[in-house]
Amino acid sequence: QVQLVESGGGLVKPGGSLRLSCAASGFTFSDYYMTWIRQAPGKGLEWVSYISNSGINIYYADSVRGRFTISRDNARNSLDLQMNSLKAEDTAVYYCARDSHNFDYWGQGTLVTVSS
Amino acid sequence: QSVLTQPPSVSGASGQMVTISCTGSNSNIGAFYDVHWYQQLPGTAPKLLIYDNTNRASGVPDRFSGSKSGASASLAITGLQAEDEADYYCQSYDVSLSAVIFGGGTKLTVL
């Protein structure tokens, strides 16, 4: 069965960095685009970034462009999100999701808290 | 403020029907981009409910249905059950923003 497991969340100070990872299993990872979506506490869903199956095509939301970098390792079935220059407004649960033109599978999420 | 507009909350009695609207514009839903719906139960990750406007995801009861007309879409839930209490989100793509977009979410309360 399809499984997505995020890791790497935690507490970080404003201006700091954090790297999130998503381990995928149960499907041919290299066949699918992958996406990061976040949800601030008590708020709605916000798309963050997606990466094509080959890793060649990458897109970011305006709110994170220039600070976040998405990457993938198809050999390790792994998706990453490098987050730099973090701000308080980046505080959220970060989900990785399989992108089938819709988001058909989601991980359980990992909480990132940006606070001094 | 979300590009896709949903009512913040809806409610209905057990066994009744509710609809949740999702209103967009000519740069997203009205530009023929598909609408997808997600259900988020309390404390859990979102789950795909309806894809490509009208198709139920695997395992989703036929009490849930989606429709789309012009720049708007709707999710209908019939025969409301207590387990349907959740937040519901619509999602599409906006060509002007070159971005995936979500509605602000609708909290469903089953009375």
Per-residue pLDDT tens over the stretch B30-45: 998 999 999 999 999 9
Interface check B34 vs A, CB under 8 A: yes
Q: Are A81 and A48 in contact (CB under 8 A)?
A: yes
Rounded Cα gap, residues A26 and A5, in angstroms? 12
Looking at residue B1, its pLDDT comes to 78
Compute the nearest-CA separation of A47 from chain B (Å): 6
User: Rounded to an integer, what distance in angstroms lies between the CA atom of residue B51 and that of residue B57?
Assistant: 7
Contact B9, B85 (CB under 8 A): no
Structure tokens at A85: 């220059």
Please give the pLDDT value at position B2: 83
- Max Cα separation, chain B? 41
A98 is written with which tokens? Answer: 């399989």
Reply yes or no on whether the pLDDT at A101 is more than 90.
Answer: no
CA dist list (Å): B52 to A14, A69, A100, B2, B36: 39, 29, 11, 20, 6
pLDDT digits (tens, 9 = 90+) for B53-70: 999 999 999 999 999 999
Chain A interface includes B98 (CB < 8 A): yes
Is B89 in Cβ contact with A45 (below 8 Å)? Answer: yes
pLDDT tens per residue, range A18-74: 999 999 999 999 999 999 999 999 999 999 999 999 999 999 999 999 999 999 999
Instruction: Using CB atoms, pick whichever of A59, A102, A109 lies closest to residue B48.
Output: A102
Give how far Cα A35 sits from Cα of A38, A96, A100, B6, B92, Å: 10, 6, 10, 23, 14
Nearest to B18 by CA among B70, B71, B85: B85
Among B91, B80, B78, B99, CA closest to B37: B91
